[in-house]
Chains A and B, each alone.
Chain A
Amino acid sequence: MADVTPTPIDGDTLLRQRTVRVLQTGFRIAVGFLAIGLVLSAIQREALPHEFGSPDEVVQDVFDGSPVGFLGLGIATIILTPLAATIAIAVTFVQFGDRRYALISGAVIVVLLISLSLSVL
């Protein structure tokens, strides 16, 4: 019987795989929202608008089934994907017991959140 024991994956490979998975997932979700928005826009024969509403309006538009809501959600998802990848990296370092890089990744997340709040406020 063939040996089916999987080859052990080293930490760096796992780190890369997880980061790829988060980036891909974020991208796919964003593309999904954008596709829904474009299809709805075609069905409702509605031209694409020239701007999105505020984050609150985008959420309301999604519940109303408006194309612009889904398009806005798609763009917001892609913007937040690098932040999600950084969180996944920090979690992986914690799991590996790599305290130094867990702290460094945590610091990156904090600085990103500060810059996001400064820029949006």
Chain B
Amino acid sequence: MDIWNIVGIGVAAVFAATFGSMLGLGGGVFLVPLLTLFLGVDPHIAVGASAVCVVTNSVVGSTVHLRSGFPNIRLSMLLQVTTAIGAIAGALVALRVSANAINLVLGLVLLYSAASMLRQRRLEPVPLRPDEPDPHGLHGSYRDPASRRTIEYVPRNVGVGMGMSGGAGVLSGMLGIGGGAIQVPLMNLLMKVPVKAAAGTSAFMVGMTAVATAAVFYADGQIDPQVVIPAMIGVFLGSQAGSQVTRRVQTHRLVLVFVIVIAYLGISMVLKAFGISFGRD
């Protein structure tokens, strides 16, 4: 592998981690196509490197997000129970279900989420009533540097959110994705968690979800040091940048970027269901 390939991998990882960390995704959805399409990396090696990078991105990005107070740790633990169980179930049944059907369902879910988030992107966070019930002890608050306000919220529809998070976990397990593209709209639209808190919480969760995937590739010898080392250096730089951007950018702009990304993913999934691929596989 020549020096330009190594630099290219690092630059691709900076890009993937910046957007991933900013939006509460792992970044693998950007990294795998960049590595395979533009840098000629074998798809299996690219997915292995991506899994390690998702964990790294989560570790580095969460450190910055946690200092900003965005992630809701209790909420992440609550949703992670069903997400992780769903991911195991998804991985176990993956071989019994048609991949095209999964891609079509996920694609439509992502497109619906994109449309809903676009429609609601300028809505203010749901104001907290003084007598707002908080039966699950999930109250969260953070200082938003962009609007210079302290945002307080209590996640709603927690039971339904946990159930749907389990469903997101099933899809994660089946498709080998971190699940951030599903978790952020779920928390924001259904549970009324402000988008920065949803992105911060999701960024923390995707690391936990990706641990098992990364371990599989590690144990299977599919982690290539020549690819993963420059990618990790890129992730370190990009993840810090993305988390800082989240602090400063106006929420409606963050939502707009998120909508563009998940709409792209949704369209890719639907096309893939009909056998049209951008070359990821």
Contacts and interface: CB of A to CB of B under 8 A. Distances in A.
Contact of B80 (A79, A81, A108): A108
- Chain B contact residues, majority secondary structure: helix
Contact of A52 (B55, B211, B218): B218
A15 B67 CA distance: 11
Contacts of A71: 225, 229
B81 A111 contact: yes
Contacts, number: 131
Contacts of A24: 63
B189 interface: no
B212 interface: yes
Given A27-B59, A38-B229, A112-B208, A54 B73 contact: no
A115 B87 contact: yes
B55 A81 contact: yes
Contacts of B222: 51
Contacts of A111: 80-81, 84-85, 88
Nearest to B88: A115
Contacts of A104: 74, 77-78, 81
A82 B228 CA distance: 18
Given A16-B69, A112-B212, A82 B77 contact: no
Contacts of A65: none
Interface string B192-224: 000000000000000110011111101101111
A19 B223 CA distance: 27
Interface size class of B (residues with CB under 8 A): 35 or more
A45 interface: no
A34 B59 contact: no
A51 B228 CA distance: 10
Contacts of A108: 77, 80-81, 84, 208
B208 A118 contact: no
